[in-house]
């Protein structure tokens, strides 16, 4: 793909959640993307929502750009994302990189940076879309395309600790 921010066609329109899940578990990405959304049944998702709701004031809440839901963007050129734990920090990082990438290539907005907030940990992580990160992200987007092109979900993971917190646990392991 070109690095030209004025490219003729925008990048594939995924959601940030899909980019996140692609790094956590390809099967979760597939199930989620095929509308098998069971997140409303997960207490961990509820916990995340509670932290999100209680951490920032109402005017700082979500912004929808096409299908991309950004937690909030201040007047400081920074896209902010709120997470409850840093257990899958790389997935969070690429989720925010995807926001920056989409804003750059689909909306022509450059020089935007990202910041991930972990309120429970009192920790923030600043994110910058470098050329190297962009190339890594484009490889991830190609992988998502390939996973979603399949009629069948990828195999489940070996039971990892993350699975116990996943909303698809019953589907995968019962
Ligand atoms: S339970 Fe584990 S294998 Fe199944 S979708 Fe969730 S993370 Fe993937």
Weakest-pLDDT range from 4-8, 16-20, 115-119, 137-141: 4-8
CA dist., res. 114 & res. 109, Å (int): 13
Residue 43 has pLDDT above 60, yes or no: no
> Virtual CA dihedral for 96, 97, 102, 108, nearest 10 degrees?
110
Using a 6 Å cutoff on CB, does residue 30 contact ligand 1?
no
Quote the tokens at residue 17: 């959640």
Confidence of residue 161 (pLDDT cuts 50, 70, 90): confident
- Sorted by where each begins, the domain ranges of the chain are 16-173
Confidence of residue 60 (pLDDT cuts 50, 70, 90): low
CA dist., res. 70 & res. 135, Å (int): 22
Using a 6 Å cutoff on CB, does residue 163 contact ligand 1?
yes
pLDDT, one tens digit per residue, over 7-18 is 444 556 899 999
> Which residues is 70 bridged to in the sheet?
63
Give the CATH architecture of domain 16-173.
Alpha-Beta Complex (3.90)
Nearest atom in ligand 1 to 162's CA: 7
Q: List the alpha helices (DSSP H) in the chain.
A: 16-24, 26-33, 43-55, 89-107, 131-149, 169-173
């Amino acid at each position: 793909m070109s690095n030209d921010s004025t490219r003729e066609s925008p990048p594939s329109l995924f959601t940030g959640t899909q980019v996140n899940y692609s790094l956590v578990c390809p099967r979760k990405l597939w199930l989620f993307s095929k509308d098998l959304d069971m997140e409303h049944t997960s207490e961990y998702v509820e916990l995340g929502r509670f932290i999100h709701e209680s951490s920032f004031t109402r005017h700082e809440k979500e912004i929808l750009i096409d299908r991309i839901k950004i937690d909030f963007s201040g007047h400081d050129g920074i896209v902010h994302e709120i997470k409850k734990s840093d257990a899958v920090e790389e997935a969070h990082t690429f989720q925010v990189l995807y926001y920056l990438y989409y804003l750059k290539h689909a909306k022509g907005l450059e020089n935007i940076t990202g910041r991930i907030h972990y309120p429970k940990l009192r920790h923030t992580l600043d994110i910058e879309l470098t050329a190297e990160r962009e190339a890594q992200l484009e490889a991830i987007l190609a992988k998502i395309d390939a996973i979603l092109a399949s009629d069948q979900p990828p195999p489940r993971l070996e039971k990892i600790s993350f699975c116990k917190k996943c909303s698809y646990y019953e589907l995968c392991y019962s």
